[in-house]
Amino acid sequence: MFRTVLTTARSASHRAGSATTQICRFSLPQRAFSANSTIEATFRQAVDALEKSKAPAKPVSNEAKLKLYAFFKQAEKGPCSGPRPGMFDMINRAKYDAWKALGDLSKDQAMEGYIAGVKDIFGGDLPAVPSSAAPAATEKVAPATASDTSTEAAEKLHLRGFQELFARPVSPTYSESVARQLTRMQLQLPAEDGIATIALNRPKKGNAFDLAMWEELRHCWEVVGGDKRVKAVVLRGENHTFTTGMDLSVFVNLQTQLSPVECEGRRRESLKQFIRYLQSVVTAAETCPVPVIAAVSGHCIGAGIDLLCATDLRYATKNAQFSVKEIDLAIVADMGTIQRLPRLVGQQRATELCLTGRTFSGAEAAEMGLVLQAFDTEEEMMRHVQTVSQQISKKSPLTVRGVKEGLLFSRDHTVAQSLEQVQLWNSAMILSNDLLTAATAVMSKQEPVFKDL
């Protein structure tokens, strides 16, 4: 469902042409740009069907939505000619690329493509359109009114489709759709234990972060934060390493993206927004409502330290290699290490690590408090992480979230403010069904079983 955004991120990494072609493989022959009245009538019927009919016969992929959007725009407005949206406007950028890929496709053929796409959604035929259709209860966009033109109505429909990408709470179906489409991350969703696993999965590059990988990680946080089945998250790296940090292609691509901007102020503003975006993906581990447990083996370099510091519990193998590497690239670490590391290891130790960029082991990381415990082998570490995450997943999900929120609040506020915060939390949350479940389990000497949120 979210391949649009991922493809856009990839296009920002010097793959714009191939990514767009992959989304929009249109092989219709070219004709003069003119409209056939019969085709246009069927096209309007298809627009009405997509707007007013009930749920389609099968789930609509994001790729199909992009194609429909592109065909619709081509049929209504002709070839795409406007400026491409900025690199941070990812949804509109993907829509633009899909439309632009149609080139000079004729109006008739754009309508034919749209009709074929709608028929495919509804199982091969256009459904009968009721004279009046009530809007779905879950619509995020106002339904078309009598004053709307067919163009405006369809625009609202397509907007609604794209807003579904970020709907909350996240359904199991959506979560599984996201997990299937990841290429640089692995997302293992909970079965019955409530534990989700996010694995950095770019092994040939040492799990280094390119733009697409950052975007995939952002979607992973959205899923585990919104899927009510998730009670704890394990964050690890594939191929016996956590991450070697930022892929240098990100810096090359950033220079390419910003160099055409003539205004120095606007260039700096774009750069600031990009840094803010990266910070938000890292901080999402901290703001994830359920505990995030990091398991580090191999390398944890640069951006890996940023990400590690934003998690709730941290474990490592004794021979894992850590480094705040940004100093060696003439960069001030800007995604959270400078802000969070001193709270974990102390100001003086953090200062030394950030200024020297020296490599230190997992054993030393445990001694200084960056990780809670270091293990001889990765297998031993993962067994322990699994045990801890299972212990957490058996607790009241409401209470676990409250504890995490309280700990983070107390870190950044005074004792008096934190006491007031927990007053408000418990006065709002303590009288829950979970309290009765826990009390009953204690009296009956049985393990409590709490419902998902």
Who contacts 23 (Cβ-Cβ below 8 Å, separation ≥6)? 3, 4, 7, 63, 66, 67, 94, 97, 98, 101
Confidence at 15, pLDDT banded by 50, 70, 90: very low
Q: Sign of torsion, CA 101 104 105 108?
A: positive
pLDDT in tens, 399-450: 999 999 999 999 999 999 999 999 999 999 888 999 999 999 999 989 989 9
pLDDT at residue 158 in the model: 44
CA–CA gap between residue 138 and residue 257 (Å, rounded): 38
Rounded average pLDDT over 383-401: 95
Averaged pLDDT for residues 28-49: 66
Q: Is the pLDDT of residue 141 over 70?
A: no
Question: Cα separation of 439 and 431, whole Å?
Answer: 12
Kindly report, residue by residue over 233-262, the tens digit of the pLDDT.
999 999 999 999 999 889 888 888 888 888
Q: Is residue 197 helix, strand or coil?
A: strand
* CB-based contacts of 81, cutoff 8 Å, min separation 6: none
| Spatial distance between the Cα atoms of 419 and 310, rounded to a whole number of angstroms | 23
- Evaluate whether 232 touches 293 at the Cβ level (below 8 Å): yes
**pLDDT score of 204 more than 70:** yes
pLDDT at 115 over 60: yes
In single-letter form, the type of residue at position 261 comes to V
Instruction: For the chain, give the percent of residues with pLDDT over 70.
Output: 80
Single out the residue of 356, 371, 258 nearest to residue 318, CA to CA: 371
Residue 314 phi/psi, 5° resolution?
-135, 130
Q: When comparing pLDDT for 33 and 407, which is higher?
A: 407
Instruction: Return the beta strands (E) in 104-231 as ranges.
Output: 185-188, 195-200
pLDDT reported for residue 24: 36
- Whether residue 381 contacts residue 315, with contact meaning beta carbons closer than 8 Å, is answered with yes
In this predicted structure, which of 35-39, 331-335, 339-343, 370-374 has the lowest mean pLDDT?
Answer: 35-39
Structure tokens at 48: 């009405």
- Regarding predicted confidence, which is higher, 87 or 317? 317
Q: Lowest mean pLDDT of 30-39, 115-124, 230-239, name the range.
A: 30-39
Of residues 172 and 307, more confidently modeled: 307
Give phi and psi for 196, each to the nearest 5.
Answer: -105, 150
CA 9 – CA 381 distance, rounded (Å): 33
Mean pLDDT value across residues 385-403: 95
* Cβ(314)–Cβ(294) below 8 Å: yes
Q: Does 132 or 333 have the greater pLDDT score?
A: 333
- Give percent of the chain with pLDDT exceeding 90: 51
Least confident interval from 27-41, 312-326, 388-402:
27-41
Per the structure block, which two tokens stand in for 275?
Answer: 């840094």
Any alpha helices (H) in 1-143, and if so which ranges?
A: 3-10, 16-23, 37-52, 62-77, 90-100, 107-121
Mean pLDDT of 72-91: 79
Which residue has better confidence, 223 or 14? Answer: 223
Which pLDDT band holds residue 89 (cuts at 50, 70, 90)? low
200 vs 159, more confident: 200
Residue 139 has pLDDT above 50, yes or no: no
Quickly state the pLDDT bin for 58 (edges 50, 70, 90).
Answer: low
Rounded to whole angstroms, the Cα distance separating 278 from 307 reads 10
59: pLDDT confidence band, cut at 50, 70 and 90?
low
pLDDT in tens, 145-180: 333 344 444 444 444 444 444 444 677 888 888 888
Is pLDDT of 29 > 70?
no
Return the higher-pLDDT residue of 445 and 55.
445
Distances (CA, A) of 400 to 202, 336, 434: 32, 24, 11
Residues whose CB is less than 8 angstroms from the CB of residue 271 and which lie 6 or more positions away in sequence, other chains included: 254, 258
Would you place residue 293 in the very low, low, confident or very high pLDDT band (cuts 50, 70, 90)? Answer: very high
| Residue 436 CB partners (closer than 8 Å, separation 6+) | none
Measured from the Cβ of residue 276, the count of other Cβ atoms closer than 10 Å reads 12
Average pLDDT, whole number, for the chain? 82
Structure confidence at residue 258 (pLDDT): 84
Place of tokens 């496709």: 105
Integer angstrom CA distances of residue 108 from 45, 119, 352, 447: 15, 16, 67, 66
- Does the pLDDT of residue 57 top 60, yes or no? no
Q: How confident is the model at residue 143 (pLDDT cuts 50, 70, 90)?
A: very low
What pLDDT is stored for residue 130 in this prediction?
A: 57
Count H helices and E strands in the chain, helices first. Answer: 19, 9
Q: pTM of whole model > 0.85? A: no
What confidence score (pLDDT) does residue 197 get? Answer: 96
